[in-house]
Amino acid sequence: MSAQIIDGKKIAESIRLEIKEATQRLRAEKGIVPGLAFILVGENPASQAYVGMKGKACEEVGFYSITERMPADTPEEALLQKVRAFNEDPRIHGLLVQLPLPAHIAEHKVIDAIDPRKDVDGFHPINVGKLVIGEKCFKPCTPAGIQELLMRSGNDPSGKHVVVVGRSNIVGKPIANILLQKQKGANAVVTIAHTGARDISVFTKRADILIAAIGKPEAITGAMLKEGVVVIDVGSNRVDDPAARKGYRFVGDVHFESACAVAAAITPSPGGVGPMTIAMLLRNTLLAAQDSVG
Ligand code: GUN
Give CA angle at 31 (25, 35), nearest 5°.
90
- Ligand 1 close to Cβ of residue 97 (< 6 A): yes
Ligand 1 atom 4: the closest Cα is on which residue?
A: 99
Q: What are the start-end ranges of the E strands in the chain?
A: 4-5, 35-41, 64-70, 94-97, 161-165, 189-193, 209-212, 230-233, 237-240, 248-251, 265-266
- CB-based burial label for 250 (10 Å; 0-12, 13-18, 19+): middle
**Per the omega criterion (within 30 degrees of 0), is the bond before 143 cis?**
no
Q: What is the CATH number of domain 30-115?
A: 3.40.50.10860
- Ligand 1 close to Cβ of residue 36 (< 6 A): no
- Annotated catalytic residues are 54, 98, 121
Question: What's the rounded Cα separation, in Å, for the pair 294 and 258?
Answer: 50
pLDDT band at 2 (very low <50, low <70, confident <90, very high): confident
- Ligand 1 close to Cβ of residue 98 (< 6 A): yes
What pLDDT, on a 0 to 100 scale, did the predictor assign at position 275? Answer: 97
Same fold, 30-115 and 141-274: yes
pLDDT one-digit tens code per residue, 18-46: 999 999 999 999 999 999 999 999 999 99
Q: Is the pLDDT of residue 1 over 80?
A: no
Average pLDDT over residues 70-80: 98
Average pLDDT over residues 198-208: 98
How far, CA to CA in Å, does 124 sit from each of 67, 97, 181, 258?
Answer: 20, 12, 20, 38
User: What mean pLDDT value characterizes the chain?
Assistant: 97
Domain ranges of the chain: 30-115, 141-274
Ligand 1 atom 11: the closest Cα is on which residue?
A: 99
Q: Is the pLDDT of residue 122 over 70?
A: yes
pTM of the model: 0.97
Tell how far the Cα of 204 is from the centroid of ligand 1, in angstroms. Answer: 27
Cβ-based neighbour number of residue 206 at 10 Å? 15
- Ligand 1 close to Cβ of residue 121 (< 6 A): yes
- Ligand 1 close to Cβ of residue 96 (< 6 A): yes
CATH 3.40.50.720 fits 141-274, yes or no: yes
Pick the closest to residue 221 from 193, 192, 259 (CA basis).
Answer: 259
Ligand 1 atom 9: the closest Cα is on which residue?
A: 98
Cβ-based neighbour number of residue 4 at 10 Å? 15
Query: What atom of ligand 1 comes closest to residue 96's alpha carbon?
Result: 9
